[in-house]
Structure 1
Amino acid sequence: MSKPAILTVDDDPMVSAAISRDLRNRYGDDYLVVGARSGAQALAVLTKLALRNQPVALIASDQRMPGMTGVEMLEQARTQAPGAKYLLLTAYADTDVAIKAINDIGLDHYLLKPWDPPEERLYPIVDDLLDDWRQANPDHTSDVRVVGHRWSDRSYDIKTFLARNHVPYRWYDIERDAEGQRLRALADATVAELPLVLIPEGDTLRSPTTLDLAAALGLRTKAEQPLYDVCIVGGGPAGLAAAVYAASEGLSTVIVEREGPGGQAGQSAAIENYLGFPKGLTGADLTQRAVAQVARFGAEMVLARAAVGFETRGPVHAVVVDGSGEIEARALVLATGVSYRRLEAAGLDELTGRGVYYGATASDASLCQDDDVYVVGAANSAGQAALNLARYAKRVVLVARAATLENTMSRYLIDRIAAAPNIEVRCRSEVVACRGDGHLEALTLANRDSGASEEVESSWLFIFVGASPRTEWLGPDIARDDKGFVVTGQDLLIGQDHTPRWPLARPPFALETSVPGVFAAGDVRLDSMKRVASAVGEGAMSVYLVHRYLATI
């Protein structure tokens, strides 16, 4: 947490140095003492502190200054430092002005100059003012703040990135929150510059890319070594498990993750069938625990970087990373998981990120307070999202193309959905159109049997349909099926065209791909179970196979 600030304002260099010195001697351990030499400079300092979310506890200002008096400056300071205590330093001749300022601007105290000795004339007054300020501001934190429009796709992307990387933040909607309007005015930001990301003790970011945001937060965005024993592409459960086992067994290890660790599982509001957690746990909790283990054993994690190419160079495999060159490793584990398939519906693409979302984080639920929400999907991820959203929404409608949920969703989720009074399930239905001006306002549902359709009003549509692997960057050397899932192990010996796709005399290891030394684990692999527990198991197993492979080269 940043130290609260005490701002001193006086145009006389000797007086300015004296008041700053006396306050720093007494309060410097707990407060940041900052000096300004004019009212305009003081307001500029206050604006900078406000954008950094650094609280201002006290402003001690001289009254007689050229250009702007102390009272005039303090009156304007309320915008940048609401709640700060005001102390006016004045001569005897200005006591009437000071007394009037108590009523006019809420002046807390005035002090006649000089204040020597400070132990008798300065510190007792400041002590009382700071005590009052601390009692009124007990819970100040220096979280990242995001200022934007709730229907902005960029704002949603920024919030999702922060949530997935476990960075605490506070969200301010410029239409609903006075504080958001104040911060936007302080930053003098245009609509095109939103969202603003205000980082404590850092510069204000204006509509940043996730890479810029990661760098500003101090997250690692580049690999540190020229060559690793194993490079893991993807930071979901499979990739994190592989990193824990590889690093703990002495292999130099790096994970490349284009968004944030956790994958789809990391966005889950509740994982209730994972071994060892009888009450369940959130995807964020599971991810945070795994990331801590990864860090403990010394594996590197490179964030906000997408793998865009792959090459084999003799005994070394190279992953080409967007914007930062390449990472070389002796073995490679593909754990890129899957993303939700795009839904085909008229008008939907234009509204994606503006009321239409693929997947959902646990924090999305609170945004839907007292609204009607629609969820498309019939698997566990859709069921978990519907239950989480129902905690806040007035009504949640789960839209499924199938005639029943039994074949695709776990029984415990089906039972909980049936027991929820504000969740409605519409089977044999689909979303065929969306409309809205700037954000989703209504969608059209069609019955797959009768063909009948109806338009319903809603500002929220969350989509959980199917799975598409992220493997287009691998090129032709890595064998994949017609949907892009990576072929491994014994399936390589006879391909779909009945020709072998394995180049060596030895048989492939169980999770090995068509390129020796490259393994696949988790949802990206053909015929994987698509469950968190199996992904973790495959991630751990891949490291055992990496050891066997490294012993052969």
Structure 2
Amino acid sequence: MSPLRPVVAVVGHRLDPEHYRVRDFLTRIAQPFDWYEAGSEDAEQLLGRHGATGEPLPVVIDGDASIVAATAAVLARAWDVPTMPSRAHYDVAIVGAGPAGLAAAVYAASDGLSTLLVESEAPGGQASHTAMIENFFGFPEGIGGAELARLAWRQAVGFGTDLVLLRGVVGHEVVPSGDVRFDLAGDVSVTSTIAIAAPGMEWRRLKVPGLEELLDRGVYYGAGRSEAFHCGGEDVTVIGAGNSAGQAVLELAKAGARVTMLVRGEDLSTSMSGYLVDRIEADRRIDVRLGSQVTEVDAEAERLSRVTVEDSGGRIEQRAAQAMFVCIGGVPRSGWAAGAGVQTDARGYVVTGPDLLAAGRRPADWPLERDPFTLETSVPGFFAAGDVRSGSTKRVAGAVGEGAMAVALAHRRLTELEGLP
């Protein structure tokens, strides 16, 4: 079940990275919360009323309960969020609870298959950072990424999915029976007949001197939805030219920030949906700098204060910035693939189906008398869906479709296995 409560209160320091991660976790699971800056009069009064004055921060007030030194794991335990699988073997195990993984879980569980969905963070993947997805089929008014993930989470669990959060997969192996064994963090292992890899992508890192030291203290990867409401009246820089960057600048401008958008290319429309380009160009609160990039960051009192910007003509400018959001695309989470015998392309994306064939021929180590199914990897019965897959559309709707298709193909593999001696 979803752990959602009525509105909770959180007391912490805005610029403490650990406290930011609690805010980010709550935002990504669509848990409503009110933020109280530690040391403020309102925060002290709230802590006093709940007998939590002087307790380790951050403190989450949930009704009459005070959860001190809160982390995502602490909140999961307090709210009975499952973090352990309930059985040793499943028909289908899915890694990654982004749109592809959630869709696969919904369809697998609703078809009566015992289904495990493992996620190392919060449901929704990168989509959960998006304030509003306006071009998703069936939602003419748009839907927030975290809300879409929450609804899918509820639907998958309602059909019987065993959803395990905050527990990463540290290893995969095809065992002699043909099943896939998943080694989870915390010395836990499960096996499954069918495996679906949907771990998505992680943000590409920006290589700028001093940036890593300011991570989650003024510098954030992704749209930073949990930070946007703090940025009213501040100077904010957004780096990137894709839809994630476009959504971020619009959300920050709506919150009252003075937003500078830095784009390395010379045209937004080459990498961003037209409706976002139109809105950004029409918003006077947003200053778009084409052909520009950050070359240095500076801090005061251990928080971001300035960025150095260089344009394509070599001109250098220092600009005030209390926050910077980096949305420069991602790299596939496929470090596990080699250990599982799963083939990837030169960029690290998982290769599936017809793309595994060379001049119409199957891979030399492919053991079956048929070609790999459309979303099947180089390991029979091991499928890939969503952003991690080579050739995927890198869109939410496409990921959902691939998750559903992976389950349909899984049924074909299960039928095939039933016919084996």
In the superposition, the TM-score normalised over structure 2's length comes to 0.91
> Which residue in 1 is equivalent to 2:212?
349
Q: How does 1:332-371 map to 2 (within 5 A)?
A: 332-371=195-234
The counterpart of 1:174, out of the listed 38, 45, 58, is 38
- 2:371 is the alignment partner of 1:507: yes
Return the offset for 1:187: 3.5
Partner of 1:10: none
C-alpha distance in structure 1 between counterparts of 2:113 and 2:60, whole Å: 37
Q: Counterpart of 1:278?
A: 140
Superposed displacement of residue 474, structure 1: 3.5
State the partner residue of 2:346. 482
Alignment partner, residue 191 of structure 2: 328
* Distance of 2:154 and 2:21 partners within structure 1: 24
Q: Which of 416, 426, 429 is the equivalent residue of 2:279? A: 416
Q: Give me the whole-angstrom Cα distance separating, in 1, the residues matched to 2:258 and 2:66.
A: 41
Question: How far, CA to CA, are the matches of 2:367 and 2:21 in structure 1?
Answer: 42
Change (3 A) 1:195 1:454: same
Deviation at 1:362, TM superposition (A): 3.5
Distance 2:391 2:280 in 1: 28
Q: Distance between the aligned counterparts of 1:342 and 1:452, measured in 2?
A: 24
Deviates more, 1:283-292 or 1:155-164: 283-292
* The one of 82, 89, 92 aligned to 1:220: 82
Question: What residue number does 1:537 align with?
Answer: 401
CA distance in 1 between counterparts of 2:189 and 2:337 reads 14
Note if contact 1:269-1:361 (Cα within 8 Å) is conserved in structure 2: no
RMSD: 2.0
Q: Secondary structure at the match of 1:368?
A: coil
Q: What letter corresponds to residue 254 of structure 1 in structure 2? A: L
Write out aligned runs for 1:64-79 (5 A). none
Alignment match, 1:60:
none
Contact 2:67–2:75 (CA under 8 A) maintained in structure 1: no
Q: 1:387, CA displacement in angstroms?
A: 0.7
Which residue identity lines up with residue 492 of structure 1 in the other structure? L
- Taking the aligned partners of 2:295 and 2:47, their CA distance within structure 1 comes to 38
Q: Shift of residue 453 of structure 1?
A: 1.2
The separation in 1 between residues aligned to 2:264 and 2:366, in whole angstroms, is 39
Structure 2 CA distance, aligned partners of 1:424 and 1:502? 53
399-408 or 388-397, larger mean C-alpha shift: 388-397
Report the residue type matching 1:540 in the other structure: A
C-alpha distance in structure 1 between counterparts of 2:381 and 2:353, whole Å = 12
Deviations 1:77-100 (A, max 9, x none): xxxxxxxxxxxxxxxxxxxxxxxx
Counterparts of 2:65 and 2:189 in 1: how far apart (Å)? 29
Distance 1:401 1:373 in 2: 17
| Distance in 2 (alpha carbons) for counterparts of 1:518 and 1:219 | 28
- Match of 1:406, SS? helix
The count of residues paired between Structure 1 and Structure 2 equals: 406
Q: Which of residues 434, 445, 453 is equivalent to 2:297?
A: 434
More helix by share: 1
Q: Deviations over 1:62-86 (max 9, x none)?
A: xxxxxxxxxxxxxxxxxxxxxxxxx
CA distance in 1, matches of 2:379, 2:331: 22
Distance 1:499 1:298 in 2: 37
Task: Give unpaired runs (5+ residues) of structure 2.
Answer: none
- Equivalence for 2:112: 250
What is the alpha-carbon distance in structure 1 between the residues aligned to residue 319 and residue 169 of structure 2? 40
Contact 1:256 1:302 in 2 (8 A): yes
CA distance in 1, matches of 2:135, 2:30: 23
Q: Does 1:491 align with 2:340?
A: no
Q: What residue number does 2:323 align with?
A: 460
TM-score (norm 1): 0.70
The percentage of counterpart residues that share the same residue type is 45
For the residue of structure 2 that corresponds to 1:160, the secondary structure is: helix
Amino acid aligned to 1:245: Y
Higher mean displacement: 166-175 or 515-524: 166-175
2:129 corresponds to which residue?
267
- Stretches of structure 1 that go unaligned for 5 or more consecutive residues are 1-140
Q: How many Å separate the matches in 1 of 2:411 and 2:183? A: 24
Distance 1:328 1:414, change over 3 A: same
Shift of residue 403, structure 1, vs aligned partner: 0.9
Cα distance change, pair 299–142 in 1 and its aligned pair in 2 (3 A): closer
1:215-238 deviations in whole A, cap 9, x for unaligned? 122111011111111011111110
Structure 1 residues 170 and 528: alpha-carbon distance in aligned structure 2, compared to 1, 3 A threshold = same
Q: Which has the higher contact order (CA 8 A, sep 6+)?
A: 2
> 1:288 pairs with 150, 165, 180, which one?
150
Contact 2:238-2:260 within 8 A present in 1 as well: yes
CA distance, structure 1, for counterparts of residue 246 and residue 343 of structure 2:
33
